[in-house]
Structure 1
Amino acid sequence: MDIKGIAEEVYRRTGIETTERDVEKVLSGLAGSSHFWEVVCAARKPFSVVAEIIEILKQTKLVKVDEQGDISFTPEGMEFLNSSRIAPRKDYTCPACEGRGIGLEKLKELLQKFDEVTADRPKAIIDYDQGFVTTRTVAGRIALMAGRGDLEGKKLLVLGDDDLVSVAAGLSGMPAEVVVMEIDDRLVEYINNKAAKFGLPVKAIKYDFREKLPEEYVGYFHTFTTDPPETLEALEVCMGRGLTGLSGEGCAGYFGLTRTEASLKKWNLFQQLLVGKFKVAITDIIDDFNHYVNWDYLLESIRDDYTFVQVKPRLNWYRSSMYRIETLSGFKGMENRSVPCELYVDKEALIYRPGKSVDKEKKVRYIKN
């Protein structure tokens, strides 16, 4: 089977459009690492696409998988790799800023204080598909918003906050006010307790973004930040809520979008939604800005039919690009009413299993804040 044939077979199995270039990126990742999660991180393709490509390579005896789940090329695989003129992927990311292009020297005190204050943070749980980012990522978000003029003296809306960006923002002393809208009662209580203890201008309320935005917060904020679920329905509703909360032209929204659960086709459709429906400009997309700490329930929540997938990650492999959008004259939020939508599962979701239906009751376990 050639590279084109592999791409066609992956599409048949997953229903996700897969190109020859996608296959080449996975092969290049495999040439540089035997660890599945490192390959997912390097390939920047949906999880199920990477898994199916590797499984096809295994079935065609181009790679083999040992008892520890490590993947290596067979002699036939090495010949295939060389004849296809595919080289191992090389990483040129700046180790100091981790590719964000933002120095954190001025936020050293904030980094230390944030770690101290949040040492007792609630554990990420499967009920809401939680997985929080690293401290350096949190500090990077604060620096990015501040550098763009979207934080100091501003009113900040945080839609979902297992990352505790609200606490970091409060500790920075920059925003005038921070309001967190969060579905997890544990986090609502935790954030409010920290705000009271440290005198932070932060308030958390319980909220499910499928419900209408509280009227007092419509058109109230200068900036919003969120980590949205990545079905197109959920992306539309989440962006709609954030934009509905903004006060006018020149306001900003920040959010992450992965390549692990969102193909470039989905990126394209979503970008059309942002520019066409909501009338905003995309000012920044910073690749791999957000690095997530590995969550304990990962292996129990994903497919278990491939041995190379059921391996504990040895790096913070789950990452997302940081978007910044800015409102234009005539920008639109959304009608402020309850909107039921599919939050959790589509063909590109981490928990999606090709050929298997997902129990509607089980979906409740996979809300991403």
Structure 2
Amino acid sequence: MEAYAAELTKRTGIPITSADLKKVLGALACAKEFWHITHLSGRPFNVVAESLKFFAERGWVKVENQHLELTPAGRKLVDEQGIKPPIESGCKACNRRGISIERWQDLLNRFKEVVAERPLPIIDYDQGFVTEETTVARIALMADRGDIQGKDLLVLGDDDLVSLAAGLSGLPRRVVVLEVDERLVNFIRQVAEKENLPVEAHIFDLVHPLPAELRRQFDTFLTDPPETLEALAIFIGRGLSGLKGAGCAGYFGLTRAESSLTKWRAFQAQLTGQFNVVITDIIHDFNEYVNWDYLLESVRNDLSFVQTWPRYNWYRSAMFRIETVDDNFFRHEEEMKGAPLYEDQEALIFTRRFRKEQ
């Protein structure tokens, strides 16, 4: 398996181990749909796609009607390697979040009403929003940690419309949104005015440093950044520059579909090292994303099993919470220059390079 992993590392440019391949094979032992296999394996989209292609080339996997299945040779390999499928045991009542939104049902119902006419995700910004339940669960999590009641909240990018849910909850003192998409900014402004919410939204590209008037003004920030290391650093750096001091918190999501554990390790080292914050929570699969309309247009079409519409919301991210423990944390906006990179070998957007000419 080590030799196979080395060959796939060369193909993808992503560090791949034999353990990664076993995770994919384990998921394949209990799932037939590509998106389900990707979710269960916890490996980046391109690692899973290339691994399955590799397995098919060797006769371990067959593809029928866009579904995948182990061949007799593949089942023999799985048995010989002692690979076992995952056993999904997450709590169904809270959708595996560890946070109940039962007491937040009124907020959820109202939030669904006000966002019914929300702008849809567009490919220009690689957008995709979470379910309404996820947005309300974020409010519940921040409230559980004491990070939103009577606090000032900074939202960096808001296609999930967390700002409106926060405003409707009546908990924060002030909510400020910085968002590059003018459609979303206008929608947030209209709803905030109609509902008399303490929410303000500004058109802003986070490649630029925070305006001086927004620095050191907030208790909590929330963002959902692109997942290159450069973009993660810039978005989290912008959030930290907005925080007041010790005891402030930041929330953001990080997937396994677009980020390998190698990237996770590098980013966590940056958080605790350069940024000088502590990671207090990592909640697996907390954020559930609605399948965006342009999904199949945005990913590779050279593999038939990829070009099948997911039967469920497969794209999930872990929720990170970080906290400042003293006033000595990263605020150096001048060091965060240049545009973030939205594409690396692990990103879904990277898979467009594999698209066949139409």
Structure-2-length-normalised TM-score: 0.96
| Structure 1: distance between partners of 2:336 and 2:72 | 57
| Structure 1: distance between partners of 2:226 and 2:176 | 20
Match of 1:239 in 2: 236
Match of 1:59 in 2: 57
Match of 1:194 in 2: 191
Is 1:78 paired with 2:75?
A: yes
Match of 2:85 in 1: 88
Q: What is the deviation of 1:21? A: 1.0
Deviations 1:306-341 (A, max 9, x none): 111111111111111000000122112222587213
Judging changes above 3 Å, is the alpha-carbon distance between structure 1 residues 236 and 131 closer, same or farther for their aligned structure 2 residues?
same
Match of 1:311 in 2: 308
| Structure 2: distance between partners of 1:19 and 1:337 | 34
Q: What is the deviation of 1:49? A: 0.5
Deviations 1:69-106 (A, max 9, x none): 10011111121222222222220011111111111111
| Structure 2: distance between partners of 1:96 and 1:40 | 23
Judging changes above 3 Å, is the alpha-carbon distance between structure 1 residues 354 and 116 closer, same or farther for their aligned structure 2 residues?
closer
Match of 2:278 in 1: 281
Match of 1:362 in 2: none
Deviations 1:284-315 (A, max 9, x none): 10011100000011111111111111111111
Specify the code of the residue in structure 1 equivalent to 2:22: E
| Structure 2: distance between partners of 1:153 and 1:354 | 44
Match of 1:361 in 2: none
Q: What is the deviation of 1:342? A: 3.6
Match of 1:207 in 2: 204
Is 1:8 paired with 2:6?
A: yes
Q: Percent identical across equivalent pairs? A: 53
**Native 8 Å contact 2:299 2:352 kept in 1:** no
| Structure 2: distance between partners of 1:337 and 1:202 | 29
Match of 1:117 in 2: 114
Is 1:142 paired with 2:139?
A: yes
Gaps of 5+ in 1: 358-369
**Native 8 Å contact 1:242 1:333 kept in 2:** no
Match of 2:95 in 1: 98
Specify the code of the residue in structure 1 equivalent to 2:163: S
**Native 8 Å contact 1:257 1:321 kept in 2:** yes
Q: What is the deviation of 1:15? A: 1.3
Bigger CA drift: 5-14 or 121-130? 5-14
| Structure 1: distance between partners of 2:147 and 2:344 | 33
Match of 1:39 in 2: 37
Corresponding residue to 2:66 among 69, 84, 88:
69
**Native 8 Å contact 1:126 1:297 kept in 2:** yes
Is 1:50 paired with 2:48?
A: yes
Specify the code of the residue in structure 2 equivalent to 1:57: F
**Native 8 Å contact 1:254 1:325 kept in 2:** yes
Match of 1:322 in 2: 319
Corresponding residue to 2:297 among 296, 300, 321:
300
Match of 1:333 in 2: 331
| Structure 2: distance between partners of 1:6 and 1:317 | 27
Match of 2:169 in 1: 172
Gaps of 5+ in 2: none
**Native 8 Å contact 1:211 1:337 kept in 2:** no
Q: What is the deviation of 1:354? A: 9.3
Match of 1:351 in 2: 349
Between the two proteins, the alignment pairs up a number of residues equal to 354
Match of 2:123 in 1: 126
| Structure 1: distance between partners of 2:334 and 2:107 | 36
Q: What is the deviation of 1:36? A: 0.2
| Structure 2: distance between partners of 1:88 and 1:272 | 31
Q: What is the deviation of 1:351? A: 1.9
Bigger CA drift: 142-151 or 338-347? 338-347
Deviations 1:246-272 (A, max 9, x none): 011110000000111111111111111
> What SS does the corresponding residue of 2:105 show, helix, strand or coil?
helix
| Structure 2: distance between partners of 1:179 and 1:342 | 22
Specify the code of the residue in structure 2 equivalent to 1:257: L
Bigger CA drift: 341-350 or 298-307? 341-350
| Structure 1: distance between partners of 2:136 and 2:333 | 33
| Structure 2: distance between partners of 1:87 and 1:271 | 29
Structure 1's consecutive aligned runs of 4 or more residues displaced over 4 angstroms after TM superposition are: 354-357
Judging changes above 3 Å, is the alpha-carbon distance between structure 1 residues 325 and 71 closer, same or farther for their aligned structure 2 residues?
same
Structure-1-length-normalised TM-score: 0.93
Q: What is the deviation of 1:202? A: 0.4
